[in-house]
Amino acid sequence: MGLSNITIPLLLLSLLMFGVLGNAQLSSDFYSESCPNVTIIARRLIQRASRGDVRLTAKVMRLHFHDCFVNGCDGSVLLDAAPVDGVEGEKEAFQNAGSLDGFEVIDDIKTALENVCPGVVSCADILAIAAEISVSLAGGPSWDVMLGRRDGRTANRGDAVAALPLGPDSMEILTSKFSVHNLDTTDLVALSGAHTFGRVQCGVITNRLHNFTGSNGQSDPSIEPKFLRTLRKKCPQGRSLTARVNLDPTSPDSFDNDYFKNLQNNHGVIESDQILFSSKGAPTVSLVNRFAKSQRKFYKAFAKSMIKMGNVRVLTGNDGEIRRDCRRVN
């Protein structure tokens, strides 16, 4: 159950990338000569930063997800708004504003890499590397990170609002937001398992607790009653919407399969999480049961899905650029 170093064979990775998602020119040894210590440097800085912030690993993992789901894995989520450069800034999108975090450690990694191999490692690749390191440090699986992405030169707030999942999303909407990136139902459930660590703001779940489907005072009936009382105490009606609740009340800072066990007990914090198990007849239910029963199967599926997601609409070759500063275009 404590398996924490599952590696997907390179042959499978090749089939996965070229057979499913196109001909992206990524490889796990992309920086073997140009910047061989990239992973070592990133790991050291994430380990150091996480000592002062137990939530850091979850924050960094979320950055990679929110990057790839908006016009592909191009580092656009890191860009500060700069109208003169045509950059709206995805950080201000509803799903990101005031909650997306972890940018400072990405800046630190970029600075350190520019000192030893300037103009070589993209910010998009830093996000992919940092996500794998963060999951591993939290006790989750490891995988061979495919590298060679280049950075985009723009960001679009409207695209972020449209593409990123929302708490009240229905199963149909969730599925469509994943399928547009060639991510299937298994990917949806496996990647949702990243909610096994981290926090969520009360603003995301307040309607579910106090005003479900617009009925004042009513709550989502799929929430187990005792757990509902706990959540209502943490997020009282009319109080702070920025207070945070653990996504996984069982082991909030560890990457494990408790998230799926929580769903089985109707202890999913976000509506779009619980819906994976509470939707009778949906193909997601059997996947939740499978991952709840076997952490090993969850880890293998999660690693495979992370590789698929990391290959969404990547820029390679001469497309895009290698930013000198992850927050602004060159």
Q: Is 252 annotated as a binding residue?
A: no
Q: What DSSP line would sit under 138-164, residue for residue?
A: TT-------B--BB-S---HHHHHHHS
- What span, in angstroms and rounded, lies between the C-alpha atoms of 277 and 55? 26
- What span, in angstroms and rounded, lies between the C-alpha atoms of 130 and 109? 9
- What span, in angstroms and rounded, lies between the C-alpha atoms of 216 and 305? 39
* Angstrom distances, CA of residue 160 to CA of 22, 63, 156, 245: 23, 13, 6, 24
- The Cα diameter of the chain in Å comes to 61
Burial of 58 (0-12, 13-18, 19+ CB in 10 A): buried
Q: Which residues are catalytic?
A: 66
Q: Is 200 annotated as a binding residue?
A: no
Q: Is 256 annotated as a binding residue?
A: yes
Q: Is 319 annotated as a binding residue?
A: no
- What span, in angstroms and rounded, lies between the C-alpha atoms of 284 and 315? 32
Q: Which secondary structure element, helix H or strand E, spans residue 259, and what is its range? A: helix 258-264
Q: Is 185 annotated as a binding residue?
A: no
Q: Is 7 annotated as a binding residue?
A: no
Burial of 133 (0-12, 13-18, 19+ CB in 10 A): buried
- What span, in angstroms and rounded, lies between the C-alpha atoms of 69 and 49? 26
Q: Is 90 annotated as a binding residue?
A: yes
The DSSP 8-state label assigned to residue 177 in this structure reads H
Q: Is 165 annotated as a binding residue?
A: yes
CA 122 to chain centroid: 18
Provide the 3-class DSSP secondary structure of residue 271: helix
Q: Is 70 annotated as a binding residue?
A: yes
Q: Is 76 annotated as a binding residue?
A: yes
Q: Is 67 annotated as a binding residue?
A: yes
Binding residues for Ca(2+) are 67, 70, 72, 74, 76, 90, 196, 248, 256
Binding residues for heme b are 195
Binding residues for substrate are 165
Binding residues are 67, 70, 72, 74, 76, 90, 165, 195-196, 248, 256
